[in-house]
A and B are shown apart, each in its own frame.
Chain A
Amino acid sequence: MLDFPVWKRVLIWGLCVAGLLFAAPNLFYSRVETHNDAVQAIERTGTATPELEAEAGGWPSFLPSGLVNLGLDLRGGAHLLAEVHVTDVYADRMDNLWPEVRNALRAERDAIGTIRRQDGAPDELRIRVSRPENIQQAVQAVADLSSPIVSLTGVGARDFEVTSEGADIVVRLSEAEMTASDDRTMRQSLEIIRRRVDEAGTREPTIQRQGEDRILIQVPGIGSAQELKDLIGTTARLTFNEVTGRTTDEHQPVQPGEALLASMNEPGTFYAVDTAPVVSGEDLTDAQPSFDQNGRPAVSFRFNPGGARRFGDYTAEHIGEPFAIVLDDEVISAPVIQSHIAGGSGIITGNFSVEESTQLAVLLRAGALPAEMTFLEERTIGPELGADSIRAGALACAVAFVAVLAFMLASYGLFGIFANIALIINIGLIFGLLSLIGATLTLPGIAGIVLTIGMAVDANVLIFERIKEELKTARGPARAIELGYEKALSAIADANITTLITAGILYFMGSGPVKGFAITLGIGIITSVFTAIYVTRLIVLAWFARKRPKTLEV
C-alpha cells in the first residue's frame, strides 16, 4: 500500500509541474502583460510594427501567458451597476405603433367616426372614437395589425392586445411580448455598452448582465465613474421626427402626442415635434464623419432597408417641410426636406466641429441605448490605492508564508520540510489555476490566499498527528505512515467539504470582491487537499524508500 503506481506518480508530478508552469507568468507580470497586449494588437490590426514585435518577443510564445487578472480594487478603475428601464421601450413601441393604428382606423372612419389619441399611461395607446357603438369594429381593425409571436408561454400569442374601455380603444403589449422585449432591450443595451467601452480601448472591461434588468460594468484603468458614465452615455437616443412647429416660448402648450424640444445649436429656439419618430437610431447601419457641400463637418449615415423605405416614403410626402434630427431630447438640426431621399442614406449638418462630428458618428454607429439607465452603484478606485493594496498584500503574504514555514519546521522537523515543500507547490498551484481560468484577484482574494496558507497545513497536521499516534501503537514506521494517511482521510474530507460548501455559497451569493475571495478560498481548499494527500505522501514515500528508517520522529 505504500507504493504508488508509476502512472499515478507521473500524473501527480505532471499536475504540479503544469500548475507551476501556468503560475510562472505571474512572476513576470508587467513583461507578460506587455507581451499579451502586443500580441493582441498585432492580431487585431493585422500588421506588426517592429516595436510591437519587440514587445511580443519579451516573453517566449511557447510558454503559457495567462495572467491572474487584477480586480478593480487592486488595479484601480471604475465600477458601475446600472438598472435598465426596460419598460421605457413599451412607450416607444406604442408611439411607433400610433401612425399605423391611425391609418387603420381612418380607413374605418365611416363606422367609427373621428379618432383622437388620448393621454394615458406611457405603456398604452388610448384612442377615443366619436361613435363608440361600433367600437368593436375599431378594436378588430387594430387587432388585425398585431402579429403572432413565438413564445414559451403559449401558442397563438400576439405582440399586442387591444381592448375597449367605454369610448376608448386601449392597446397594450402582451405579456409574452413584454418578456421578449425586456430580453431584447437588455441584450441590446449590453451590446451597445460593450461597443462604446471597446471604442475607448480600455483593457479587459467586465460587462455583464445581472439579474433581470441590471448591467454590471467594470473598467480597469479608467479615471472615474463619471468618465465611464460619460463614455457610455445615459441615453443617446437618435430619432428623426416630424416638426409641427417652431417657437421661442419654452412653455408653449403642445398637442397630445407632441413634445417641445430645445434646439442644440440655436439657443432659445424650441421645436414642437411629433413624439412618434419617423425613423429611429436602431435603423441606422452606418454613420461616418464627413463634410457637407460647403466643406463644413457633418455626419453621413445609412439606414437599413426598413428604415430606408420609411424615410423614403416620408420625405416623398413631406417635401418642403422641416423634420427634426433629435438626439437625447435635443434637436440637433431641423433641416427642410429638399427632395425625396431614396436609397436610405443622408447627411446631418449642424454647427459641428470636426471633433463633434466624429463623436456623433461614433455614438450613432454604436447605436442608441434602447432605454434609459439608473446607476445604482458607482465606485471609483484610484490606481495608487490599488498599488498600495498590492504592496501591502504581497508583504503580508510573504511574512505569513515565511512564518508558517518556520513554524512547521520547528514543530515537525523533517516532516515539516515535506509539508513546506507541499505548501510552496500549493501556492504555485493556486496561482496556476487562477491564471488558467482567468480569475480575478481582489484584495479579499489576497486575504483568501493568506488564509489558505494558514489552513493549508491543516491537512498535513492532521496526517502527521495521526502518524504520531499510530507510532505509539508500535507497528513500525511503514505501517504508521500508511495508517496515518488512511485514518486522517475522513477527517480531512469532512473538514474540507464543509469549508468548500461555504466557499460555494459565497461564490453564488456574493458579488464583486466577495466572489473573488470565494474563488481563491475554494481553489485553495482543493489544491491544499491535493498537495497534502498526494504530494507530501509521494515525498514521504520517496524519502522512506531511500532511507528505510527503523524509527520515525514526526
Chain B
Amino acid sequence: MRLRLVPQETNWDFFRFTKVFFAFSGAAMIASVLMFFAMGLNFGIDFRGGTTIRTESVEPVDVGAYRDAIAPLGLGDVSITEVFDPSFDADQHVSQIRIEAQGEGDASVAQQVIADVEAALQGVDPSITFPSVESVGPKVSGELVVEAVIAVTLAIAAVLVYIWLRFEWQFAAGAVLSLVHDVTLTIGIFALLQIKFDLAIIAALLTIVGYSLNDTVVVFDRVRENLKKYKKRPLKEVLNLSINETLSRTTMTSFTTLIALFALFALGGDVIRGFVFAMIWGIFVGTYSSIYVASAILLKLGVKRDWSKKNDGKGGTQFANIDA
C-alpha cells in the first residue's frame, strides 16, 4: 500500500468558507501590521548597526555577571542572551552579546571597544573565547535596509509581470496579493516572537515568495488548462476541480520540503535557526495562501473564459487541445 497524504480522489469544496478565510487572512494581516508598529522587529546589526560578539565558555553563562562586567564601559544599550542548541557539548556554553552602534560617523565599532568588552568578559570567566565578532557601521546598515526592501519589492514586481504575461492580469493580481499576504504574515510572526531579523531573513522571505508562487502557479496552470477543457462550467467549479486535482502534488511537495527544513531546524545549529524558522512558517503560509488567497481572489475577480483564440503559440498553451 502506498503512503497517501490525501485521498486519491478528493472533491472538497474549497470555496465554501471563502468569507471566513478572507476575514481570517485579513485579520492576520492587520494584526501583523499592528504588531510590526507596536512591537517592532528585533533587527540584527545588519539593519541597525552595532556589534555582536558570540562567546563560548566552559563555565555556564552568567548573564548578570557579564552585564555587570560590561556596564562600566558605558556602551549604551547592551543585550546579552544565552544561546541553547542540542548540538552543543555539555561543557559548551554560548551567549550572544549585542552592542549598539557607537558614536557618530560611518565606521563600524572601533576595535578598541571590542577589545575592552573581551577583556572585561575574560575577567569574569578566563575560559571564555569569542568565536565570532561582527560589526556593522550605521551607514552600511541603512543601505542594507533599503536594499532589502528593494529586493523584496523587485521580486514581487518581477513575478507580477511574469504571471501577467503567462496568464491574465487577474491571475497576477491573485498571486501578488497572496505574496504580500505571505510576506506580511512572516514579518508579523517575527515581530510577535521577536526573533532576530537580519539579512538572512530577507533571503528567507524571498524564498518564501518563490515557493508560495511555485505553489500558486501550479494551481493556476491547471486552472488555465481546465478553463479550456470545460468551457461551460462555472468558474467556481473549475477552480475547485483544479485545486482538488493538484492537491496531492501540493501536499507532497510541501511535505518533502518540510521534512528537509525540519531536519535543518533541529540539526542545523543555532546560527541559521531563525532563517529556517522563517522558511517553515513560509511553507505553511504559502501553501495556505495559494488556495485560500490566490485562488479565492481569482474567483472574486473572474477571468476571461475564451482561451482558445488568443494566446495561441504562447508557451504554456501549446498542449491545450490534446484532450479537448
Cα(A499)–Cα(B246), bound, Å: 19
Cα(A391)–Cα(B54), bound, Å: 19
Q: With a CB–CB cut-off of 8 A, which chain B residues contact A510?
A: 151, 199, 202-203
Q: With a CB–CB cut-off of 8 A, which chain B residues contact A305?
A: none
Q: With a CB–CB cut-off of 8 A, which chain B residues contact A493?
A: 315-316
Q: Which B residue's beta carbon lies closest to that of A483? A: B322
**Nearest CB of chain B from residue A7's CB, rounded to whole Å:** 24
Q: Is A542 an interface residue (CB 8 A)?
A: no
Q: When each residue 227-267 of chain B gets 1 if its CB lies under 8 Å from chain A and 0 otherwise, what string results?
A: 00000000000000000011011001101111111011011
Cα(A490)–Cα(B275), bound, Å: 31
Q: Is B268 an interface residue (CB 8 A)?
A: yes
Contact of A513 among B132, B200, B211 (CB under 8 A): B200
Q: With a CB–CB cut-off of 8 A, which chain A residues contact B78?
A: none
Q: When each residue 266-298 of chain B gets 1 if its CB lies under 8 Å from chain A and 0 otherwise, what string results?
A: 111101100110010000000000000000000
Contact in complex: B207, A451 (CB < 8 Å): yes
Given contacts A382-B129, A494-B217, contact A403 B249 (CB under 8 A): no
The stretch from B22-30, B34-42, B66-74, B155-163 touching chain A is B155-163
The stretch from A254-262, A315-323, A500-508 touching chain B is A500-508
Given contacts A376-B139, A377-B137, A458-B253, contact A509 B263 (CB under 8 A): no
The stretch from A94-102, A224-232, A265-273 touching chain B is A224-232
Q: With a CB–CB cut-off of 8 A, which chain A residues contact B264?
A: 393, 396, 400, 447, 450
Contact in complex: A455, B261 (CB < 8 Å): no
Given contacts A486-B319, A506-B206, contact A379 B133 (CB under 8 A): yes
The stretch from A168-176, A295-303, A347-355, A406-414 touching chain B is A406-414
Contact in complex: B203, A506 (CB < 8 Å): yes
Contact in complex: A494, B221 (CB < 8 Å): yes
Q: Is A498 an interface residue (CB 8 A)?
A: yes
The stretch from B13-21, B105-113, B188-196 touching chain A is B105-113
The prevalent SS among residues of B at the interface is helix
Contact of A400 among B106, B151, B259 (CB under 8 A): B259
Q: Which B residue's beta carbon lies closest to that of A501? A: B158
Contact in complex: A444, B203 (CB < 8 Å): yes
Given contacts A378-B108, A411-B2, A498-B159, contact A451 B261 (CB under 8 A): yes
Contact in complex: A447, B275 (CB < 8 Å): yes
Q: When each residue 448-492 of chain A gets 1 if its CB lies under 8 Å from chain B and 0 otherwise, what string results?
A: 001101110110011001000100000000000001001101110
**Nearest CB of chain A from residue B66's CB, rounded to whole Å:** 19
Q: Is A514 an interface residue (CB 8 A)?
A: yes
Contact in complex: B132, A498 (CB < 8 Å): no
**Nearest CB of chain B from residue A246's CB, rounded to whole Å:** 32
Q: With a CB–CB cut-off of 8 A, which chain A residues contact B260?
A: 400, 403-404, 450-451, 453-454
Contact of A514 among B54, B200, B245 (CB under 8 A): B200
Q: With a CB–CB cut-off of 8 A, which chain B residues contact A469?
A: 245
Given contacts A396-B263, A400-B264, A490-B316, contact A498 B253 (CB under 8 A): no
Which residues of chain B (126-182) have a CB below 8 Å from chain A?
Answer: 129-137, 139-140, 144, 147-148, 150-151, 154-155, 158-159, 162-163, 166
Total contacting residues, chain A, CB less than 8 A: 78
Contact of B3 among A397, A403, A411, A501 (CB under 8 A): A411
Contact in complex: B218, A513 (CB < 8 Å): no
Contact in complex: B255, A407 (CB < 8 Å): yes
Cα(A384)–Cα(B213), bound, Å: 38
Q: Is A497 an interface residue (CB 8 A)?
A: yes
Q: Is A83 an interface residue (CB 8 A)?
A: yes
Q: Is B44 an interface residue (CB 8 A)?
A: no
Q: Is B209 an interface residue (CB 8 A)?
A: yes
Cα(A385)–Cα(B96), bound, Å: 13
Contact of B159 among A382, A397, A451, A501 (CB under 8 A): A501
Q: Is B87 an interface residue (CB 8 A)?
A: yes
Q: With a CB–CB cut-off of 8 A, which chain B residues contact A36?
A: none
Known interface pairs A379-B132, A396-B266, A454-B260; 8 further A-B residue pairs with C-beta atoms within 8 A, sorted by A's residue number: A377-B108, A378-B108, A411-B5, A455-B211, A465-B248, A497-B162, A506-B206, A517-B203
Q: List 30 A-B contacts (CB under 8 A).
A: A376-B106, A376-B139, A377-B135, A377-B137, A380-B134, A381-B134, A382-B131, A399-B263, A443-B272, A444-B272, A450-B263, A453-B260, A454-B261, A455-B214, A458-B257, A462-B249, A483-B322, A491-B217, A491-B218, A494-B220, A501-B159, A501-B210, A502-B158, A502-B159, A502-B209, A502-B210, A506-B155, A509-B150, A511-B199, A513-B199
User: Nearest 9 CB-CB pairs, A to B?
Assistant: A454-B257, A454-B260, A392-B269, A382-B131, A385-B131, A400-B260, A509-B151, A502-B210, A400-B263
A residues near B (Cβ < 8 Å) are 73, 81, 83, 224-226, 229, 374-382, 384-385, 388-389, 391-393, 395-397, 399-400, 403-404, 407-408, 410-413, 443-444, 446-447, 450-451, 453-455, 457-458, 461-462, 465, 469, 483, 486-487, 489-491, 493-499, 501-503, 505-506, 509-514, 517-518, 521
